[in-house]
Amino acid sequence: MSADYLDISVPIHAGMLVWSTHERPSMETVESLHAGAVNRVTHLSLTTHTGTHVDAPYHFLSDGVTTDGLALEALLGPAQVLDLTGRVEITADDLRQAGVGSVARVLLKTDNSRWIRTGPIPEVPAHLTEEAAKYLVERQVTLVGIDGLTVDAPDSVAAHRVLLEAGVIILETIDLSAVAPGDYELACLPLRLVGLDGAPARAVLRPLS
């Protein structure tokens, strides 16, 4: 990849970190050059929320937009990377002080980026409070990304519900460890899975002068 772009997607492999109730991805060769085939083909099994992925409103809302219905305009364009390192419970005041402004896409860099590829996962990772989620909606954010497995605190779905009910796309499990706070152009394209709740995505950033 060109040095002009920063890949914030985590690699997908059999030993990667996944949500506690999800199976890790598995890869099985179904056609092999060594077995006489003319090509290689791999059977891939994984959940829609494996690795860097997008949550569509249908993830929590029975009548919500599904992955294939997400607006490309929300997934492509200017984005702010905000420095929230040192905070566990991210509040509306934290977001205000960090500089949530007029940019519609917000990516939250937290201490989660230290472990998002390799673990171990802390007992309480950095996350949004419900009030923080409401603040993002008030600021007309269209996409919010975080470098953790979820935007919510353990045993909570409050931030998910606030954001998804407002039509805000959630981008989870991004790696911002090598990304400085600032202004970027985001390209985030989830797989075009029909009628589903989310999809793995390749997400990259291009610094803006």
Say if CB 139 and CB 99 are below 8 A apart.
no
Name 6's bridge partners: 205
The H-assigned helical ranges of 122-200 are: 130-138, 158-165
Given 49, 59, 127, 160, the catalytic residue: 59
Separation of CA 181 from chain center: 17
Helix H or strand E encompassing 170: strand 169-172
State whether residue 131 is helix, strand or coil: helix
CB-based contacts of 132, cutoff 8 Å, min separation 6? 90, 91, 92, 94, 95, 159
Per the annotation, the verdict on 59 as an active-site residue is: yes
Which positions are catalytic?
59
